[in-house]
Amino acid sequence: MDNETVFYRELPKVELHAHLNGSVSSQTIEKLIGRKPHLNIEHSMTAIGKGQLRTLDECFEVFKVIHKLVDTEEDILMVATDVIKEFAADGVKYLELRSTPREEKDTGLTKRSYIETVINAIQQCKSEGVDIDVRFLVAIDRRNGTEVAMETVKLAEDFMLSSDGLVVGLDLSGDPTVGHGKDLLPALQRAKNSGLKLSLHLSEVPSQLEETDLLLNLPPDRIGHGTFLHPAVGGSQSLVDKVVKNNIPLELCLTSNVKGSTVARYSDHHFKYWYQLGHPSVICTDDKGVFCTDLSQEYHLAASTFGLSRADMWKLSQQAIDCIFAPEAVKQQLKQKWNDLHPQVFK
Ligand code: 6MZ
């Protein structure tokens, strides 16, 4: 490993935007394929390799293939524990995983047992002493509409109260070209009122000014992507002003946006715009398995693309602590951890 690679691996990091089924590594996919050879799924169908570009639509086809491979409690337990350990091995000290609870009639999987299994995986890793604090965001897939969104919020509320602080919020994701945010507003409002933190995918594709404006009025606690918020790419100053005024952090995923073709080149990535504004921006992976990346590569990529120093990148990872959904005491513990690790990382 070269010097730079070692630095970004050792840099303590916070991962706030990771979809569970998009984060499955090639090793875990191999194990799943071994469990289900009859599906005839090949590895090339579940990942987008180096230099390959896809449309966002094609990315969503990939998730459907992975969902076929992950359809029992046993699968979810394996996937979640593997993903957590991989993030830990990459130097992630705090992780918020998100996933859409699914029901599978054939295997008896229910939405409730889906969430319980992810929670079990988190607890199992903790009891094994894996050095990472993991929390969970229950995800709403926007394509499933109003009723499912409300049902998901109720489930998330139950788990927020019964999971010992592990379920901290709600994610709104799914194919951004399907459905409209206004149909999901009552569910999101209810979630907010009950104390769930909200991370919403906003303006991931162009021409969603009206929807974005509506959802920004909630306001959400964090924004996923926000690729088309600013005026230069067809967004608007008033959207930017709302984000800035409410100090809503952005979760930014460079490789995902370039491979999914919503950003043409790394140097065009909106990280630059928000970083120059001094607005809280957190580098994340989105789907490390599908996009063949990890968080240390994303930090390295941001640094090399935008000419940032190691000290700048340290500051970015440290500032991400203020954007987590876990309570203040956890932020303090993480800040202490960063202080303790500083000499070793800059040795
Ligand atoms: C929007 C995305 C996404 O929930 O089954 N997901 N939603 N934009 C993206 N950009 C590429 N990447 C992933 O993980 C897979 C699900 O996460 C959401 C989609 O709903 C996808 O089906 P889970 O663990």
User: pLDDT for 97-137, tens place per residue?
Assistant: 999 999 999 999 999 999 999 999 999 999 999 999 999 99
CA distance 220 to 100: 19
Residues in Cβ contact with 23 at an 8 Å cutoff, skipping those fewer than 6 apart: 83, 86, 87, 97, 285, 287, 288, 289
Summarize pLDDT for 309-321 with one digit per residue, the tens.
999 999 999 999 9
| Ligand 1 close to Cβ of residue 256 (< 6 A) | yes
Q: Mean pLDDT across the stretch 323-337?
A: 98
Of residues 183, 128, 190, 129, the one with CA closest to residue 156? 190
Q: Mean pLDDT across the stretch 21-31?
A: 97
Ligand 1 atom closest to the CA of 176, numbered from 1: 1
Which listed residue (86, 96, 104, 204) is catalytic? Answer: 204
Say what the pLDDT of residue 219 is: 98
Measured in angstroms, how far is the CA atom of residue 220 from the centroid of ligand 1?
18
Specify which residues 202 forms β-bridges with: 225
Say what the pLDDT of residue 222 is: 98
Say what the pLDDT of residue 198 is: 98
- Is pLDDT of 287 > 90? yes
Of residues 14, 73, 71, the one with CA closest to residue 41? 71
118 is in which domain, residue-wise? 3-345
- Closest Cα to atom 20, ligand 1: which residue? 174
| Ligand 1 close to Cβ of residue 285 (< 6 A) | no
Measured in angstroms, how far is the CA atom of residue 224 from the centroid of ligand 1?
11
Say what the pLDDT of residue 126 is: 98
Min mean pLDDT across 41-50, 299-308, 311-320, 338-347 is at 41-50
Ligand 1 atom closest to the CA of 175, numbered from 1: 1
| Ligand 1 close to Cβ of residue 197 (< 6 A) | no
Say what the pLDDT of residue 310 is: 98
Ligand 1 atom closest to the CA of 141, numbered from 1: 20
- Split at pLDDT 50, 70, 90, the class of 175 is very high
Measured in angstroms, how far is the CA atom of residue 173 from the centroid of ligand 1?
6
Of residues 222, 251, 146, 250, the one with CA closest to residue 190? 146
Question: Best substitution site from 60, 102, 227, 290 to test ligand 1's pocket, by max atoms within 8 Å of Cβ?
Answer: 60
Min mean pLDDT across 49-53, 171-175, 184-188 is at 49-53
- Closest Cα to atom 22, ligand 1: which residue? 63
Three-class DSSP category at 261:
coil
| Ligand 1 close to Cβ of residue 173 (< 6 A) | yes
Summarize pLDDT for 218-272 with one digit per residue, the tens.
999 999 999 999 999 999 999 999 999 999 999 999 999 999 999 999 999 999 9
| Ligand 1 close to Cβ of residue 141 (< 6 A) | yes
Say what the pLDDT of residue 264 is: 97
Summarize pLDDT for 207-229 with one digit per residue, the tens.
999 999 999 999 999 999 999 99
- Closest Cα to atom 19, ligand 1: which residue? 174
- Split at pLDDT 50, 70, 90, the class of 1 is confident
Q: Which two tokens stand for residue 130?
A: 């894996």
- Is pLDDT of 205 > 90? yes
Burial class of residue 73 (count of CB atoms within 10 Å of its CB; 0-12, 13-18, 19+): middle
Summarize pLDDT for 67-104 with one digit per residue, the tens.
999 999 999 999 999 999 999 999 999 999 999 999 99
Percent of the chain topping pLDDT 90: 98
Q: Which two tokens stand for residue 54?
A: 């896809």
- Closest Cα to atom 17, ligand 1: which residue? 19
Number of domains in the chain: 1
210 is catalytic: no
Measured in angstroms, how far is the CA atom of residue 286 from the centroid of ligand 1?
8
The average confidence (pLDDT) of the chain is: 97
Say what the pLDDT of residue 102 is: 98
CATH classification at residue 249: 3.20.20.140
